[in-house]
Amino acid sequence: MLDYALVKLIDGMSLPGVILIFMPVTLILSAMTRRKRYFLANSIILIFLSFPVTGKLLIAPIDVGVTYQDAIAQFRFGDSDSVVVLASGLQRDRETGATLPSMGSFSRVKRAEKLAKQIQAPLLVSGTDPQGQGELPFLMEQLDGSEEVLLTFGAEGTADHAANIATLMQSHKLNSAIVFTTGIHAYRTRAVLEKQGVTVNAVIVGIKDSDLTWTDFVPGFEGFFYWKHGLKEYAGLIAYYWRGLI
């Protein structure tokens, strides 16, 4: 279990991962110099990051999504021209090579279908495969076919999703959208779509990552998770701003 936690912490590199790597270095340095301040500072920072509440406060400003339950209760006929889903690609089994869309994509498409029926708007799905033969055929098989579905594919990131969706919406004279995506990408998704001229009525997410519970005040590896993904998202936002995408 500890090995798994350490791999997940360091995988992809993150601030908590770097601090964890430097832990033995500062311990050796403290032993050699008889100065414990390096090891003590490293330990204090690591403990601070381990509290989920600190990571959740970090991502609170960009946690702009609404839950599906709130959206179903809020939106009615005419509230939006379309319902949009950003698919997140395929998951591949390392042993057999078999692929399947992520559970997140499946869940988003099914929920978006229900909302599209409720507000009587077309459903737009943006995929990642260049030929549209990846996750889209499987996801389309899960729909009952009673709603209009428009597809676009070939997106390599949020910016590509936004550009493809905006082009598709313009060709069908659609102006506004309710968008389904992952929670950590809610702010970025809204920003890039609005940059493309799309009016975003709401971004619907699976969970509100910044919502606090009493367990968030107990240290654990979950705190490192929020810091890792929060800092990565802020870095992505800075890069998008620098490139003029938001």
pLDDT at 7: 44
Average pLDDT of the residues in 127-143 = 80
* Residues 6+ away with beta carbon under 8 Å from 204: 65, 66, 67, 68, 71, 111, 112, 115, 178, 179, 180, 181
pLDDT over 60 at 10, yes or no = no
Residue 89 has pLDDT above 80, yes or no: no
> What is residue 167's predicted lDDT score, i.e. its pLDDT?
94
Instruction: Judge whether residue 5 has pLDDT over 50.
Output: no
Q: What pLDDT sits at residue 189?
A: 94
The DSSP code sequence of 114-136 is: HHHHHHT--EEEE---TTS-SHH
Q: How confident is the model at residue 19 (pLDDT cuts 50, 70, 90)?
A: low
Mean pLDDT value across residues 155-165: 91
* Mean pLDDT for the chain overall: 84
pLDDT beyond 60 at 202: yes
Position 2 scores a pLDDT of 39
Residue-wise pLDDT tens digits, 93-103: 777 877 777 88
Q: Is 113 helix (H, G, I), strand (E, B) or coil?
A: helix
> What is the share, in percent, of the chain residues with pLDDT greater than 90?
45
What is the pLDDT at residue 17? 66
For tokens 């499987």, name the residue.
138
Task: Strand 82-86: give its sheet, edge to edge.
Answer: 66-67, 199-205, 176-180, 82-86, 123-126, 149-152
Q: Is the pLDDT of residue 1 over 50?
A: no
pTM (two decimals): 0.83
pLDDT of residue 132: 65
pLDDT of residue 99: 74
Give residue for tokens 């070939």: 154
Residues 6+ apart with CB under 8 A from 30: 36, 37, 38, 39, 40
Say whether pLDDT at 76 is over 70. yes
Domains and CATH numbers, the chain: 2-61+219-242 (no CATH), 64-205 (3.40.50)
C-alpha dihedral over 165, 171, 176, 181, to 10 degrees? -20
Phi and psi, residue 63, nearest 5°: -90, 70
Taking the CB of residue 195, how many other CB atoms lie within 10 A of it? 16
